Amino acid sequence: MSIDFSQLRHYLDSLVPARSETMQEMEAYAREHRFPIIGPAAGYLCYQTARMIQAKRIFELGSGYGYSTAWFARAVQENGGGEVHHTVWDAELSEMARGHLRTLGYAGLVNYHVGEAVQTLRETEGPFDLIFNDIDKEGYPGSLPVIADKLRAGGLLIIDNMLMSGRIFDESNQTAAVQGVRTFTKMITTSPEWIVSLVPIRDGLIVAYKR
């Protein structure tokens, strides 16, 4: 018997507790506009890990209209307050995120940056307890030294799309995005600085602990 991955994905999403109306609207928007949000199961893992380490300062690279940000903001609020940095280069998406996150009650927690995410992280004072990376995949290798510099020892890096819908297994695929994910995966899994697991939820998340 082998696992049907589409069935697995629906099953994992079905285990996530019911979301608020606003979160459901954000999920519906992603389906209608084919916008690549992390989805319920990966979002819940982000929330859970941020709660587990009592994260109070979180930086997100490639935030979209605020769906993943909402999961982190919920964790920070429940952890007693702090800050979540939302970073995207589209002003329109940043504006959409402000609306959603205000409605969800996280307005006071979120700092908005419109610009290139790695450069913004470079210019923002650390350290952070948790950094989440979901930028264009060719940018992943170049982001790692900046992330390592800004994350505290004992902090977590979560990075999305580490399976690229299976394209990483196709050796004839040498696109910049797939190569970016392969190079990043090799860099982090061979570095003594990190303890790393690839969690195959949705499109694959690396969860990495900085020693």
* Residues lying near ligand SAM in the complex (CB under 6 A): 36-38, 62-64, 67-68, 87-90, 93, 116-117, 134-136, 139
> Based on CB atoms, which residue is closest to ligand SAM, 4 or 175?
175
Number of H helices, E strands in the chain: 8, 7
The distance of closest approach from Cβ of residue 88 to ligand SAM in the complex, given in angstroms and rounded to an integer, is 5
The distance of closest approach from Cβ of residue 92 to ligand SAM in the complex, given in angstroms and rounded to an integer, is 9
φ, ψ of residue 19 in degrees (nearest 5)? -95, 165
The distance of closest approach from Cβ of residue 159 to ligand SAM in the complex, given in angstroms and rounded to an integer, is 11
> Distance between CA 55 and CA 79 in Å, rounded?
7
Quick one: CA torsion of 56, 59, 62, 63, rounded to 10 degrees? 30
> Based on CB atoms, which residue is closest to ligand SAM, 64 or 204?
64
SS3 of residue 153 by DSSP: strand
The distance of closest approach from Cβ of residue 4 to ligand SAM in the complex, given in angstroms and rounded to an integer, is 24
Task: Give which of 111, 126, 120, 133 is closest to 42, Cα–Cα.
Answer: 133
> Based on CB atoms, which residue is closest to ligand SAM, 94 or 185?
94
> Distance between CA 154 and CA 73 in Å, rounded?
20
Cβ atoms of 88 and 63 closer than 8 Å: yes
> Distance between CA 136 and CA 100 in Å, rounded?
23
The two most distant CA atoms of the chain are separated, in Å, by 51
The distance of closest approach from Cβ of residue 112 to ligand SAM in the complex, given in angstroms and rounded to an integer, is 12
> Based on CB atoms, which residue is closest to ligand SAM, 93 or 196?
93
The distance of closest approach from Cβ of residue 97 to ligand SAM in the complex, given in angstroms and rounded to an integer, is 9
> Based on CB atoms, which residue is closest to ligand SAM, 90 or 95?
90
Q: Which residues pair with 57 in a beta bridge?
A: 83
> Based on CB atoms, which residue is closest to ligand SAM, 71 or 194?
71
